[in-house]
Amino acid sequence: MPSRVHLIAIDIDGTLLPTSSTTISRRNCRALREAQAAGLHIVIATGRRHQYAEPVLEQVGLSPRTVMISSNGSVVRHFDGELIQRNLLTVSSARALCPALRPFGETMVFTFDRQHAPSLVVESVASLHRSIGAWVESNRHDMVEIAPLERAFDQGEAPIQGMLCGNIARVRAAQHALEGMDIAADITMHRTEYAERDLGILDLLPPRCSKGHALEDYARSLGLEATDVMAIGDNFNDVAMLEYAGQAVLMKNAGSEMQALASRHGWAITLSNDEDGVAEVLEPLIRSAQQAGGAGDLAPAVTPSETGAGAR
């Protein structure tokens, strides 16, 4: 008997969102709403912090009780803000990252899980703006500049993550350097790359933090196993959840290294983010669940041939 899909975890950037817009397509919005109405558990799993993802997801119209895995697995909340799980970097680890990464440019950001105060601390807004100007403009209202960056921890408050950005070569070099330091044992690193912009992002998280770990913990809280879970993503920070899920789907717009991983693991490949690849995957599951009377446990697994693009 084929495995069934009960829960679907979906990335935002490069997956749910088109390449050059912050507007989710009508087809993707409709598919997400209909999947949820059909009884499938929809989980959004993103590298964005919760507050930065909210404006994008509001346009979909999902239930306020929908679950979001944010900051690459550091925080899990319902859309309405109710906390499910949170992991923090230790203050000592966060402080040690500042001098370790300063040789790679003044583009470090620390994110704090705050509700009523600026939650992003940077050493140099100007330096960060040169790397990710659009992101800085969108988040400037929630950003404070502190130099040297180590002073951000003078009050003993621990962040949920650190982030370094820059060109891909610099970010890969920073990750390689950290892997050779003692601090590597106290953090988890996730890299995201956008080759068309030569932009790399290195997220620095507490140990055992990833979209995959958070997704596994949440699925277990529902009594689900990996075989009940589907994950849809496009980038390196999605690897952990794609490896965990019983049904993994990669976007066609993913880079060559991710495509090679998909080939090795036998992951399905759907249409690109600009071709509504998420909806392409969800729509057959929705039809099956609706035919079964809205029972999400009757949604069949997706195979590579069902995604519209085929496996590579």
DSSP output for 162-228: EEEEE-HHHHHHHHHHHHTSGGGGG-EEEEEEEGGGTEEEEEEE-TT-SHHHHHHHHHHHTT--GGG
User: Is 157:132 a contact under the CB 8 Å cutoff?
Assistant: no
How many Cα atoms sit within 13 Å of 240 on the Cβ side? 22
Only one residue has tokens 């965990």, namely 244
Are both 70 and 166 inside the same structural domain?
A: no
298 — pLDDT class (breaks 50, 70, 90):
very low
CA angle 185, 191, 193 (to 5 degrees): 165
Among 108, 102, 234, 101, which residue's Cα sits nearest to residue 176? 101
CA separation for the pair 57, 64 (Å, rounded): 10
Answer yes or no: is 69 within a domain: yes
* Whether residue 97 sits in one domain with residue 192: yes
Tokens of 155: 């009050």
Q: Let me know whether 67 and 149 are in one domain.
A: no
Please report, for the domain that includes residue 196, its CATH number. Answer: 3.30.1240.10
Quote the strand ranges of 56-198, DSSP E: 67-70, 75-78, 83-86, 108-111, 120-122, 143-145, 161-166, 188-194
Whether 228 and 289 map to the same domain: the answer is: yes
Contact criterion met (CB below 8 Å) for 162 and 97 = yes
The secondary element (H helix, E strand) that includes residue 251 is: strand 247-251
> CATH number, domain at 82?
3.40.50.1000
Strand pairing category for 75-78 and 7-10: unpaired
pLDDT given at position 282? 97
The residue among 205, 236, 252 that closes a domain is: 205
- What pLDDT, on the 0 to 100 scale, is given for residue 310? 33
Q: Is pLDDT of 295 > 60?
A: no
**Per-residue tokens: 133:** 């100007």
What residues contact residue 256 under an 8 Å CB cut-off, 6+ apart? none
Residues 192 and 215 in one domain: no
12 lies in a domain? yes
Tell me, what's the pLDDT at 1?
Answer: 27
Averaged over 281-297, what is the pLDDT? Answer: 79
Q: CB burial class (10 A; 0-12, 13-18, 19+) of residue 51?
A: middle
- Domain end, chosen from 158, 183, 205, is at 205
- Band (pLDDT 50/70/90 cuts) for residue 260 is very high
Indicate whether 254 belongs to any domain. yes
Query: What is the pLDDT averaged over residues 152-157?
Result: 96
Please determine, for residue 302, whether its predicted confidence score (pLDDT) is greater than 60. Answer: no
Question: How far is it, in rounded angstroms, from Cα 152 to Cα 117?
Answer: 13
Q: Average pLDDT, whole number, for the chain?
A: 92
- Domain span at residue 220 reads 7-86+209-306
Q: Label residue 291 by pLDDT band (50, 70, 90).
A: confident
Q: What is the pLDDT at residue 105? A: 86
Residue 299, pLDDT above cutoff 70: no
Do both 184 and 218 map to the same domain?
no
Residues 101 and 164 in one domain: yes
Does 312 fall in a domain? no
Distance CA 135, CA 125 (A): 11
**Based on the domain organization, do 215 and 243 belong to the same domain?**
yes
Last residue in a domain, options 205, 239, 258? 205
Q: Are residues 163 and 294 in the same domain?
A: no
Q: Between 305 and 96, name the one with better pLDDT.
A: 96
* 97/191 same-domain check: yes
Kindly state whether residue 2 falls inside one of the protein's structural domains.
Answer: no
Question: Quick one: 68 and 217 in the same domain?
Answer: yes
- Same domain (yes/no): 97, 196: yes
Distance in angstroms (rounded) separating the CA atoms of residues 210 and 203: 10
In a domain, 108, yes or no: yes
The number of folded domains in the chain is: 2
Give the DSSP H or E segment for 33. helix 26-37
Whether 1 is covered by a domain: the verdict is no
Distance separating alpha carbons of residues 74 and 171, to the nearest angstrom: 21
In this predicted structure, which of 6-15, 169-178, 180-189, 284-293 has the lowest mean pLDDT?
284-293
Tell me the CB-side half-sphere exposure of residue 41, using CA atoms within 13 A. Answer: 23
